Structure 1
Amino acid sequence: MRPDEKSDPIAHALAHATFIISGESVSPQFWSAYFGVQPNREITRGQPFRLPSGKSSPLPGKLGLWAVESRSAVHSNSLGPHVKYLVDRLGLPRANLREVAAAQGAKVALWCYWMNESGDRVPDVPDDIRAMMEAMGGTVEIDEYR
């Protein structure tokens, strides 16, 4: 490695996960209080928000969004450690999450980034996590890149 090159394990991660609550009536402040966790990303409908680049959005948010990510906290190319981090950090499962989310018209999702350039990697979201998300009214979404 040359002295001017940076070593960034996050930039080349082959997997990470994000727990997302989204919807027209989603209040990021409510969900921060509910979980006792500050999100990595948040959008309040009708308000400007910070883009992932750090810049301010040119238009106001169309939906509310509250999201906690594993990317900067977990360094693994498998989804299991990323998902476990989110489960532990958010105190999942939560018995009333389905009802609370439904009352706000919110969608609950576990979004999983999966890089599969070689075509031979299989996403490893454990069955118990899939069942937990379903019981809480959420979905598991695999966003696979080749």
Structure 2
Amino acid sequence: MTSKHQLAYASFSIYQDAEPSEFWTRYFAVAPDSAGVKGERFITPSGRMSAGVRRIGVWSVSSKAAVMSDELTPHLRYLVERLALPRADLPELLRQTNARMRFFCYWSNETGDRVPDVPDDIRALMEAMGGTIEIDEYR
């Protein structure tokens, strides 16, 4: 069986050092796809142990395995639903823990004719909660 390379997916990440990753797992009631503590080595995407250590703690959930779409909208909506966003108390938690949060979007555009689709309501949701949306476009 061959697998088709997805042209889009997204992740939701929180970066901070104040709380262990288990704090965010309990808060969202979702197991992360990736988590780590500042100062620890980690497994790289190629499957090797990192030469250096994490510069900041991270807790992250991805849509890659759960959503089969070459558009961003289904991936972002999946993450919003899975994490029950928006959450009224999340901006204050981010402030208290000196954390940053973002949607990180992978966007393959080898042909150069694809335009990333991020719905206005999701842009507004992240802005209201103090987060960002970043798109990493590959050509």
The TM-score range, normalised by the shorter chain, is: over 0.9
Q: What SS does structure 1 have at the residue aligned with 2:103? A: strand
- Which residue number in structure 1 is paired with residue 129 of structure 2? 136
TM-score by length of 2: 0.93
**Which of 92, 102, 105 is residue 112 of structure 1 equivalent to?**
105
Q: Offset at 1:7?
A: 0.8
Q: Which runs of 5+ in 2 are unaligned?
A: none
RMSD: 1.4
Report the counterpart of residue 88 of structure 2 in structure 1: 95
Question: Structure 1 length normalisation: TM-score?
Answer: 0.88
Query: Are residue 7 (structure 1) and residue 9 (structure 2) matched?
Result: no
Count of residues in correspondence between the two structures: 139
Indicate the residue corresponding to 1:40 in structure 2.
Answer: 33
Partner of 1:58, secondary structure, is coil
By how many angstroms is 1:25 displaced?
3.1
Runs of 4+ aligned residues of structure 1 deviating over 4 Å after TM superposition are: none
Aligned identity (percent) is 51
Q: What displacement does 1:51 show?
A: 2.7
Q: 1:123 aligns with which of 97, 116, 124?
A: 116
CA deviations over 1:49-91 (Å, ceiling 9, x no partner): 3333344333332110001000011110000110111011111
CA distance in 2, matches of 1:124, 1:142: 10
1:58 pairs with 2:71: no
- Distance in 1 of aligned mates of 2:28 and 2:124: 20
Task: Tell me what 1:29 maps to.
Answer: 22
Matched, 1:18 2:11: yes
